[in-house]
Structure 1
Amino acid sequence: MGRGGGGGVGLSPAMRCAMHYNMRHPKRGMALIFNHETFASPALKQRLGTNVDCDALDKTLRSLGFAVTVKRDLPFSGVRDYIAMMAAADHSAFDCMIVVVLSHGELGRLHAYDTHYKPDQLWHSFTADRCPTLAGKPKLFFIQACQGEELDPGVKLRDRTETDGQHSADYKIPVHADFLIAYSTVPGYFSWRNTTRGSWFIQALVEELKAHGTTRDILTLLTFVNQKVALNYESNTPDCPVMHQQKQISCFSSMLTRMLIFGHKT
């Protein structure tokens, strides 16, 4: 689907000043998971534990009503093609969409099987001018990957115990509105993954989606994902002191313009 340019006026999926996104479309929407375990370059180690993340996310997103597609170890051309296919689809009957990447990364780039690419190549095809059937609808991206090699040893704190109806006139929206991009770690830093239980970020995200995915606003939910990652996890590598007892904090960037609560989908 090409750029919309200055063509006709699309119908907003929600009233102009609505507090919440319209999640009452016939279907929840598409979810695309790129799961990268092995890579062409010998310098990139096998990502043991990523299939645990992928399976948990697949099951959880399906329970929220998403139509999930999982693609494993694709080269960049495959990632690009599936993104293009998803952007070209008709999302008129959908509430929203999700793209997940589970891979290796560095600051400003992610790895496909054969090469690296910039993260913005995941979402630039979904702007309101390029994908008009998603205009005004939430577009969510979750990225489990390192953003560098810096480590976070954490800072100790002493625990404190407390003792005490009608359509409005036409209006414009920015083409980059209604995006949310969540990263497993902050720029420049390492992202931890357990080889048997999966990554810290995806474990926390799945826990929150299972417990509160239909009742909490997504920004509140992700705040508690941050809390879980920050407080409930610490690396355990006593044979490698420089990597031992390290911490992590996930982060997200929101261009959402309303509260997003998935609710129950019948």
Structure 2
Amino acid sequence: MTWLFCLNNAEDFLKGQWLVMTVYRVPAALLHQIEQELDAEEKETMLFLCRDLVPDLPAANVRKLLVALNEREMLTPVSLSELLYRMKRFDLLKKVLGTGRTAVEASLPRCPQMLSKYRVLMTEINEDLDKEDLSSLVFLLMNDLGTSHVKAAKEKNFLAIITDLEKLDLVSPNCLDLIETCFLNMRRKDLAKKIQKYKQEAPGQPIGSPPVYANRLQVSFPKLSLADPPGVVNKGRLTNGACAIQAEQIHISVPETGGAQAQVSNKYRMQSQPLGVCLIIDCIGNDAGMLTVTFKALCFEVRCCLFPNVDSLVRELYEVARLKQHKDYDCFVCILVSRGNHQGIFCTNPIVPGFSLERLKNFFTGDACPYLSGKPKLFFIQNYVEPGTWQENPSLLEADGDLCTIPQGADVLWSLSMLNASNMERSQSSSSYYLSALTELLIDPHKRKLHLLDILVELNSKIYEWNRTNPRDQYSVLLKHTLRKKLFLSVS
């Protein structure tokens, strides 16, 4: 397959003058050319940058990586340009894509970005470390890595060391204190400041905070950070997020307190027609019809994805995240129904590892999808946990940071229901009670006068009563949010 545009005009594409594309496959010859131009260190950098995109890659091979990204339709002119730009191969931007550094820099803030900020940060730090710095870093990590890993680390670069620390669960996008402390001890305050800036722009759960316990019959409302990338507001018309027409821009940031300086009112604007896109992903097949009727009645543009495998799901998420309609809408909803475990969902794939729930949210954060910045993003998940991964406890489902995804950034609501998958065997055609009760409340005209959190409190009450009278079907509900204002799912 080939792209339906001329590569010589890629710079016009990045400036916004793109043509309609019906396929997203890069020519094999072009991928071969890129691979041949990279040296061993650059290939290692590319593999590191894309590790989250193809976690099931069988071997550390750049050609296999590019083929996998291409087959999953993740490679577009924009994403390929982003990848080469982050690797600082500006010559390949010109030679292969016919564009340049300036055009890519102009496009990055406007387009959903394929690479995570965490991996981009690590590659930038890698470029700032010399051999002496690496030697000091390995020495400081001696107790954390262990003797065998330390010996191997002495022959590795920074990205390989970070990969080892990730495998040991010592470093992750939300856990960088160890590396920050090392840089401070090395007197590399410049690198420590980069990590501190990253934390401020994309905070997660505070390091060292106690584990989260989600009782079957209780939901907690933790204090979460509200930092999102700076919003852009037009003087002519204020909306939840960036304006559709940005004739005159004023950059504002959302303070961590969610103070009045960044808020025009105490509730989200819900006036667009439709209110937003509602993406329904149903890998089981029992709830899509009911959910479609409900959210169409709530004035959402409903988009259904039935029985996807993991690859199809990723393509759908990328496509929805790129929709231009988001700039004119006031809200986004994603509903996911699937088998899974406590870390993610399997879709229709027969085996793990499946798809991380953390990745689901990351497609629609303010930095990945600028048109949704400052607007409420609602996620409702029904996860049927497969036997062998379900943690049985008669009174308490214990969930730590690895089992429960906590939203990062402002304006996210995350409602996760878990039920033992064995319950589906007794009644394969029955709907999720969690989703049925949710739709019943949302469609009730009297309940719609309540803001969403009040509705979800009533949902908890219904789940509580269900669990009390149905001991064999015990639902566990986890609710986390970083909403800054009241949200009413009706035109206001």
Q: TM-score, normalised by structure 1?
A: 0.74
**8 Å Cα contact 1:154/1:246 also seen in 2:** no
Equivalent residue of 1:214, what SS? helix
Q: Specify the alignment match of 1:27 in structure 2.
A: 274
Alignment of 1:109-128 (within 5 A): 109-114=344-349, 116-128=354-366
In the alignment, structure 1 residue 262 sits paired with structure 2 residue 262? no
Q: Specify the alignment match of 1:71 in structure 2.
A: 305
Structure 1 stretches lacking a partner, 5+ long: 38-49, 156-173, 237-243
Q: Specify the alignment match of 1:149 in structure 2.
A: 390
CA-to-partner distance for each residue in 1:216-251, whole Å, 9 max, x for gaps? 211111111111111134676xxxxxxx54532322
Q: Tell me the distance in 2 between the aligned counterparts of 1:206 and 1:3.
A: 33
Q: Specify the alignment match of 1:190 in structure 2.
A: 420
In the alignment, structure 1 residue 252 sits paired with structure 2 residue 479? yes
Report how far residue 153 of structure 1 moved: 4.3
RMSD across aligned C-alpha pairs, in angstroms?
3.0
Q: Tell me the distance in 1 between the aligned counterparts of 2:369 and 2:408.
A: 10
Cα distance change, pair 152–221 in 1 and its aligned pair in 2 (3 A): farther
Q: Tell me the distance in 1 between the aligned counterparts of 2:309 and 2:395.
A: 36
Alignment of 1:128-139 (within 5 A): 128-139=366-377
- The partner residue of 1:210 within 440, 443, 446 is 443
Count of matched residue positions in the alignment of Structure 1 and Structure 2: 224
Q: Tell me the distance in 2 between the aligned counterparts of 1:134 and 1:205.
A: 24
Q: TM-score, normalised by structure 2?
A: 0.42
In the alignment, structure 1 residue 100 sits paired with structure 2 residue 335? yes
Equivalent residue of 2:484, what SS? coil
What is the one-letter code of the residue matched to 2:302? V
Equivalent residue of 1:123, what SS? helix
Structure 2 stretches lacking a partner, 5+ long: 1-110, 118-200, 202-228, 241-260, 397-406
What is the one-letter code of the residue matched to 2:271? R
**8 Å Cα contact 2:231/2:374 also seen in 1:** no
Equivalent residue of 1:183, what SS? strand
**8 Å Cα contact 1:178/1:255 also seen in 2:** yes
Equivalent residue of 2:262, what SS? coil
Report how far residue 264 of structure 1 moved: 3.8
Cα distance change, pair 235–153 in 1 and its aligned pair in 2 (3 A): farther
Q: Highest relative contact order (Cα 8 Å, sep 6+), 1 or 2? A: 1
- The partner residue of 1:2 within 108, 112, 135 is 112
What is the one-letter code of the residue matched to 1:2? P
Cα distance change, pair 74–9 in 1 and its aligned pair in 2 (3 A): closer
- Give the percent of matched residue pairs that are identical in Structure 1 and Structure 2: 24
What is the one-letter code of the residue matched to 1:125? F
What is the one-letter code of the residue matched to 1:220? D
Normalized per residue, which structure has more strand?
1
Structure with bigger gyration radius = 2
